[in-house]
Every structure is written in structure tokens, then in C-alpha cells.
Structure 1
Amino acid sequence: MENLREIFQIMARRFGFLNKNCCSVGGSEISLTQSHILYEIDRQHQPSMQQIAETLGIDITTFSRQVQSLIKMNLVQKTPAPEDKRVQILSLTIEGKYVAKTIDEQMNLFLNEVFSHMNDFEKETVIRSIKLLNDAMSKSSMCCGNMQG
């Protein structure tokens, strides 16, 4: 039996290394967490602070600090929700959209390069397997059941 934990550790390290090295855009260093926040703000329609924090499984205090640093970098803006001023809606600035798009392009280039070492059948098998794994993880009582994405 193969050591499953080792397989996942290696894959996580390789993705971590990629994210550490890919997320420098226009002189701004973007952390892995910040790149996830930008991605989710871009993906969701007028999300609240709480929605993004829950999606990413980050406690609200840590999340607030990350958002503040993204605001200082002029990548994200917060506006009170019209129906409830206590709720803060997050959106990307023009610079934030550019950074999110650039990171997305870099990730797609990397993934396309990785998949170029596989034939179509292998590529489809890997993608289908990752979808199956994500689905099974969402149903697990020990992991990530409430995470979206």
C-alpha cells in the first residue's frame, strides 16, 4: 500500500513552493492566503467579510488583518452593505482585479505546463480524480464539510 500521506505532503509542498514563488505582481508580494482572498472576492458576487472568511476557513480576526493589508496595498476595498451598515462588503479595486487576473494567468500557465507532460486521457483522469476527492472531502465529518469552492 502506498503511503497516502506522503503523496499528499509532496503535492502540498510543490503547490506551496509554486504559490510562494508566483505571487509577486508589479512589485507587490502577495501571500498564499492573500491570493486566496483575492480569488474568492473576485469569484463571489459582492461578498461580505464573513462570507469570504467562512469560505476560506479563516477566523475573522486573522482574516480582518489580511484584508487590512490588502486595503493598504490598494487591492481591496470595503463598503458597508446598504441593508445593514454593520456588514462590510468586499470588492477588488482596479489594481486588485489586475493582480487577481495576473495570479490566475500564472497559475493556469503552471497547470498547463504540468498537464503538458500527460496525454489527454491522463489529464482527464487526474481532473476527474481531483473532483471526486474534493467531493468526498466535502462529505467527510473530519474535514472541510462546510468549505465551499
Structure 2
Amino acid sequence: MRNYYVEINEYLQKLVKNTIFYDRKGICFSVGMLSITDLLILKALGDEKEKKMYEIIDDLGIDRNVFATIINKLQQQQFIMKTKSKRDKRVQILSLTEKGQDVFREITSKEKEIIFSLLNDFSFNEEKAVLKFLVKLDMLRKEKNKTLEETP
């Protein structure tokens, strides 16, 4: 058995538990509480001027009904706008409002602050080890998703 298997497993379980907790409870921002899914959608839009709804659904792997509910909530909060594509009226385009762009900047700033404070006590080699671990987790996720897509 690996040297730190038990400890790593315990901390990964805590991480998953906290992620689920914060997705349900929300994370406090100047505009109120936002779920992790809200944040992911705002970040997906913040990186680009506008994006098609189905692209975000595919990128994030969110159920269409859940996505629609979240989009309606984000529209009511005036963070996003939904418009029809000029080329294809069936396609819905999402973009951030000015208020949404402010929230996106706040999210990005808060993320940087948290990561920098966490990494502040890490050596260069420790940072590399964390990055290597995260890359391997991502590769495992991609491999798992590929296997699921191939299963009939």
C-alpha cells in the first residue's frame, strides 16, 4: 500500500464533501450567494463575449433542465442576457451583463487570492507536485468520460 493513501483519501473525501456543501449552500460574494454551478457558468461566459447555450451545457456536462433553471435565476439577478442567434433563431446566445462582468471579475480576484494564499507556504517543488497530481486527476476524469461515452 502507498505511504499516504489513507490520509490522501480522507482529504479527497473532505474536498468532495465541502464542494457539495458549497454548491448547495453557496459562496458569499458582494451580490449574494452563488453556487459552484453558478460560478462555473459565469466563468464560462466571462472568458468570452458570448456563448451558445448548448456549448456551455456540453462543456460543463450540466443537465439541460438544471441548466435552464440556473440560467433563469442568473437572468433574474441581471448577471446574464439571453438572446436568439441572428443566424439561427433556434440557438440561444448567452452573454454577461455589466453586473455579470463585475461579478466575474470578483470571482476571478477571489480565486487568485485564495490560491496565492494557499501556495504561499509551498516550495517550488511542492507546487510542481500539486500540479502533477491535479493533471493526473484531470487525465483520469477524461479517461473515465471517454469510457462512458464508448459504453452502449
TM-score normalised to structure 1 length = 0.83
- Aligned pairs, how many? 145
How many Å apart are 1:20 and its aligned residue? 7.5
Deviations 1:23-77 (A, max 9, x none): 3333422111111110111224532111111211111111011000000000000
Preserved contact between residue 85 and residue 91 of structure 2 (Cα < 8 Å): yes
How many Å apart are 1:18 and its aligned residue? 6.7
Q: Is structure 2 residue 61 aligned with structure 1 residue 52? A: no
Written as runs of structure 1 = structure 2, the 5 A alignment for 1:1-149 is 1=1, 2-3=5-6, 5-15=9-19, 23-44=27-48, 46-141=50-145
Report SS of the residue matched to 1:86. Answer: coil
**Alignment RMSD:** 2.6
Q: Which amino acid aligns with 2:101?
A: K
In our comparison, the structure showing a higher alpha carbon Rg is 2
Where structure 2 has 5 or more consecutive residues not aligned to the other structure, the ranges are none
Preserved contact between residue 26 and residue 35 of structure 2 (Cα < 8 Å): no
Report SS of the residue matched to 2:113. Answer: helix
Q: Which amino acid aligns with 1:62?
A: V
How many Å apart are 1:121 and its aligned residue? 1.1
2: CA distance, partners of 1:144 / 1:46: 30
2: CA distance, partners of 1:117 / 1:14: 22
Report SS of the residue matched to 1:84. Answer: coil
Where structure 1 has 5 or more consecutive residues not aligned to the other structure, the ranges are none
How many Å apart are 1:118 and its aligned residue? 1.2
How many Å apart are 1:21 and its aligned residue? 8.2
Divergent runs of 4+, >4 A: 14-22, 141-145
Structure with greater helix percent: 2
How many Å apart are 1:79 and its aligned residue? 1.0
TM-score normalised to structure 2 length = 0.81
2: CA distance, partners of 1:105 / 1:96: 14
